[in-house]
Structure 1
């Protein structure tokens, strides 16, 4: 999987890393047991602070997407679940996005069509 960092983005770098790893898992580009680059290696590759990468990896570990092995480092796991807390966070994240689309005159069908297209990518592995 190839990560892309947009240094001019408003999205913090650790969130870009986190989001892209989750997307890689959803698309099947990263599978259970796959090893991720070490914190030091990824930080060096992008010329960013070690703590930035560690923060992304730690969040992914806390959310159940990664585990740490003594010899392998950070490894993809599939322990993330859609519990009540996740569902509430999802609603909170989607609210402004959907409000923006609705305020621009998009219909429910148009919005749902876009959601289905994105979900289809994940089901088909891109």
Structure 2
């Protein structure tokens, strides 16, 4: 699994790891019940502290995307993820900010909706049916 991380970004590395894994699951690159590398292995392969990877894995667990088992490690959870009002509210907040930034950058509603539709369609992989 290849993660695209920007070590010069203002965005925390654990957040970047979380986002990359989330996108890989949504695109079907990571399948239900597939194991992720151990925290130590992932940390070594991307050159970060193991606590950073552990924090990312725990965030993904909290989001309902991973199951963490002492013996089996981190495993992709069944999808769709459980109804989680906290996740939905966070998504709404993120989308509101993204919409505001798009509006302020001069993007039209039509451009925003077309781009959103294309991106959403790119995740419509039937990998969990």
Q: TM-score, normalised by structure 2?
A: 0.88
CA deviations 1:45-95 (Å, max 9, x no partner) are 122111100000011111111112333211100262343322221121122
Hey, what does 2:49 align to over in structure 1?
A: 49
Q: Give 1:95-106 correspondences, 5 Å limit.
A: 95-106=96-107
> C-alpha distance in 1, partners of 2:64/2:125?
23
> C-alpha distance in 1, partners of 2:78/2:2?
20
Hey, what does 1:83 align to over in structure 2?
A: 84
Q: How far is the alpha carbon of 1:6 from its aligned partner? A: 1.2
Hey, what does 2:10 align to over in structure 1?
A: 10
- SS of equivalent to 1:123: coil
> C-alpha distance in 2, partners of 1:4/1:112?
26
> C-alpha distance in 2, partners of 1:73/1:64?
15
> C-alpha distance in 1, partners of 2:125/2:46?
30
Indicate conservation of the 8 Å contact 2:32/2:77, yes or no.
Answer: yes
> C-alpha distance in 2, partners of 1:11/1:78?
28
- SS of equivalent to 2:30: coil
The runs of 4+ residues in structure 1 deviating greater than 3 Å are: none
Structure 2: where are the runs of 5+ without partners? none
Structure 1: where are the runs of 5+ without partners? none
Q: How many residue pairs align between the two structures?
A: 125
Hey, what does 1:69 align to over in structure 2?
A: 69
Q: How far is the alpha carbon of 1:38 from its aligned partner? A: 0.4
Q: How far is the alpha carbon of 1:105 from its aligned partner? A: 2.3
Hey, what does 1:115 align to over in structure 2?
A: 116
> C-alpha distance in 1, partners of 2:36/2:70?
13
